[in-house]
Amino acid sequence: MDFTRRGAVAALSAGLAAGLPLSAFGLPEQTGRAPVPGGTIWWKKVGSGAKPPLLTLHGGPGAGHNYLLPLAALANDRPVIFYDQLGCGRADSPADEKIYTIQRAVDEVSAVRKALGLDRIVLFGHSWGSMLAIEYLCQGRGHGVEKLILGGALASVPQAMAGQQRLIAQLPNGGGKRIHALEAAHKEASPEYEKLTQQFYDLHVCRRKPYPPELAASFDIVGKSIAYRVMNGPNEFTIVGVIKDWERRRDLGRIKLPTLITTGQFDEVTLDCHETIHQGIKGSRLKVFKDCSHMTMSEQPAAYVAALRAFLA
């Protein structure tokens, strides 16, 4: 199937929704496990070809690889590699909370590359995965990384949290004030709080309904993930875990790679976060997808894959 055509990408998305294996579209698959600090992770390699593989880093932390599967449409001319990070999905989920650190996750990327022989790669990171990619590269671990793609991206959790609070303040019918009132009353488990949280998600996390099955799977995974609870917190806009103070804005100049930054018009990671990265990485490109939010690859998969393909050409 010629995935350079948007119709083919739409067919792949429909196939994922129907539960068809990627092999049904002529994309060879391999799966396995790899040792990493703290346990083992599960990986999937799709496609083949001589071009540098695309190594994907999913969000969360703890969302699993599933929602990134539309990127398999890029696998007709290069391998695309997905993996579940420790603490979610098919990876091990050790109960020891001290394991779940940013540094361990960075070391995990190196371990995955070593296990799979990924000397030359294109690195893709979405949401938390964008943080992980930035941290990995700022630590000087990017030997063999030829290009970088960052989606729903941030270089500073405090900056992202400030943007989320602006979005909460803009919720209709005084929703933002009610969220804060319920938080002050410690009523985060109430149906009203859950309804308001879902309203934020519907506006700023994924605007497509119903959710594609691969995205619904990731939402289910993140809801059960120890990595998400320990590293992030109870929900998308209450970041009180390990990552809450992470900051790399001043270090973005260390990244000297051709870079594409993508975001949605209504992304929960607000535009200023993406502009900060765009300004910090010399020569980078920034693309905003109209009518999308955080999960652009789920909301407009054909347009998203086309943008990535053009950058990778």
Tell me, yes or no, whether 107 lies in a domain: yes
Task: Give CA–CA dist 3/49, Å, rounded.
Answer: 14
Active-site residue (options: 93, 126, 294, 298): 294
Give the residue numbers spanning the domain of 68: 6-312
pLDDT over 90 at 5, yes or no:
no
The single residue of 93, 127, 156, 218 carrying the catalytic annotation is 127
Q: pLDDT for 220-254, tens place per residue?
A: 999 999 999 999 999 999 999 999 999 999 999 99
* Token pair belonging to 6: 């948007």
Read off the pLDDT band of 284 (50, 70, 90). Answer: very high
- Phi/psi at 260 (5° precision): -115, 130
**Residue 127 is a catalytic residue:** yes
Q: Is 58 in the active site?
A: no
User: Is the model's pLDDT at 17 over the cut of 70?
Assistant: no
**CATH code at 163?**
3.40.50.1820
> Omega before 53 cis (within 30°)?
no
Is 110 annotated as catalytic?
Answer: no
Q: Are 181 and 291 in contact (CB under 8 A)?
A: no
Q: What is the mean pLDDT of the chain?
A: 95
pLDDT tens for each residue of 18-70: 677 777 778 889 999 999 999 999 999 999 888 999 999 999 999 999 999 99
| pLDDT tens for each residue of 70-119 | 999 999 889 999 999 999 999 999 999 999 999 999 999 999 999 999 99
Q: Sort 157 into a burial class: Cβ within 10 Å, 0-12 / 13-18 / 19+.
A: buried
Laid out side by side, the sheet with 54-57 consists of 29-36, 39-46, 80-84, 54-57, 121-126, 145-151, 259-264, 285-289
Report yes or no on 224 lying in a domain. Answer: yes
| Tally of domains in the chain | 1
What is the per-residue pLDDT for 271? Answer: 98
- Position 58 in a domain: yes
Q: Is the pLDDT of residue 260 over 90?
A: yes
CB 267 within 8 A of CB 282: no
Q: Which of 58, 267, 278, 284 is catalytic?
A: 267
Contact 196/175 with Cβ under 8 angstroms? yes
In a domain, 100, yes or no: yes
129 closest CA partner among 209, 218, 213: 218
Q: Decide if 1 is inside a domain.
A: no
CA distance linking residue 168 with residue 205, whole number of Å: 13
